[in-house]
Amino acid sequence: MEIKEQRHETYVTLIPVGDLDANSSVELDERIHAIVESGCSNIHVDGREIRYISSAGLGVFISYLEELALRGGRFVVSGLADNVRDVFQILGLDKLDHLVLTDAAPQDDQLFAAKP
């Protein structure tokens, strides 16, 4: 799976391209793990190019929520297609603390400026 990365002042944006299933989610997990290990507490996943997500992809996202929350950080997922967003909603993940689902990507550091 191709995963583009953009570094910002207060957060890192990852842009996964394609299907996020049990096969490909390992790569995303490794990328996020490395970012968290480097000390970054704010992660933004630009989901516009995610065509499909299964529980394995969801699991990667939620497994970092506690760690980021403890550091006062946030996990923001933006731009999901309806079918992908539905999967979050089926399990109620869209209502979790510290996981922000939004239509638009953060234009600046505003989303990460305030503590959750």
Compute CA distances 31 → 2, 38, 97, 108, whole Å: 11, 11, 22, 22
For residue 68, the minimal CB distance to other proteins (Å) is 11
Residue whose structure tokens are 């990365």: 5
Q: How far is CA 91 from the centre of its chain?
A: 16
- Binding piece for other proteins, criterion CB under 8 A, among 6-14, 34-42, 89-97, 105-113: 89-97
Residue whose structure tokens are 């996964």: 16
Q: Pick the binder of other proteins from 36, 56, 105, 116 (CB under 8 A).
A: 56
- Tell me if 58 contacts other proteins by CB under 8 A: yes
- Binding piece for other proteins, criterion CB under 8 A, among 8-16, 19-27, 36-44, 104-112: 19-27
